[in-house]
Amino acid sequence: MIHIVGAGPGDPELITMKGARLLKEADVVIYAGSLVNPKLLDLCKAGAEIHDSASMTLGEVLAVIDAAEKQGKTTVRLHTGDPSVYGAIQEQMDAFEKRGYDYDVTPGVSSCFATAAALRQEYTLPGISQTLIITRGAGRTPVPEAESLKALAAHGSTMCIYLSVSMMDDVAKELIAGGYEPSTPIAVVQRASWPDEKIVRGTLADIGEKVKAAGITRQAMIVVSRCLDADYDLSRLYAPEFSHGYRKASK
């Protein structure tokens, strides 16, 4: 049996209870060592076979899993954050399907939500933004033209941009070209939920220089949103004059 498990954004306590249980029970653990907090490996049972996939190819990962399956062992494939977001798990699951292996997926806390917690920020404020776009800038992995940062910026909604802080100047230029004002607030959070978490705030006009001055080049989430600095409408959910299925209006 193979369990694909989301490790969460970094803080070892942010793995789910189910994910932690599966990790404790696993005979074989293959973890993304470049991003997963190694403290999570403390949960592994004595004698568990542990592999760091940071330097492994897909074929090498599958070879380890093939061997485990032949021996009737349980494998945990431990991915950072939530494995469905830039986790490269589809190619692994397709390989499992072709081999007839039984597997499941346990979701995790993605770094965009750990970033919201670090910023003490809600991404969807009434009257400001009710849409969250999760995306990345084009790099070695291409992005469809209709999903370019410039195209998505036309929505004016909250955007969480992964894997792009090394191109911060280009990201800001694309967002401005797409419709955001240069004064639009933006935040960059490096290693959200880790002990060395770093937060840089600014606007699209000055964030590039601030990120350079902070020495941030990788492992950071970019959040651009008017929610970061806005007067917003209060939620109707708790308004006394608003009725819903659990409460009648009191005014």
Parse the chain into domains and list their residue ranges: 2-106, 111-229
Cα(58)–Cα(56) distance, integer angstroms: 7
Structure confidence at residue 140 (pLDDT)? 84
Locate 97 and state its tokens.
Answer: 């399907």
Taking Cα atoms as reference points, which of 53, 54, 55, 79 lies closest to residue 64?
53
CATH T-level fold of 111-229: 3.30.950
What digits encode the pLDDT tens for the residues 29-63? 999 998 999 999 999 999 999 999 999 999 999 99
Contacts of 159 (CB under 8 A, 6+ apart): 132, 133, 134, 135, 149, 152, 153, 175, 222, 223, 224, 225
* Mean pLDDT across 3-24: 98
What class has domain 2-106?
alpha beta
Structure confidence at residue 11 (pLDDT)? 97
What digits encode the pLDDT tens for the residues 66-113? 999 999 999 999 999 999 999 999 999 999 999 999 999 999 999 999
Percentage of the chain lying above the pLDDT 70 cut:
93
Structure confidence at residue 251 (pLDDT)? 61
Cα(82)–Cα(85) distance, integer angstroms: 6
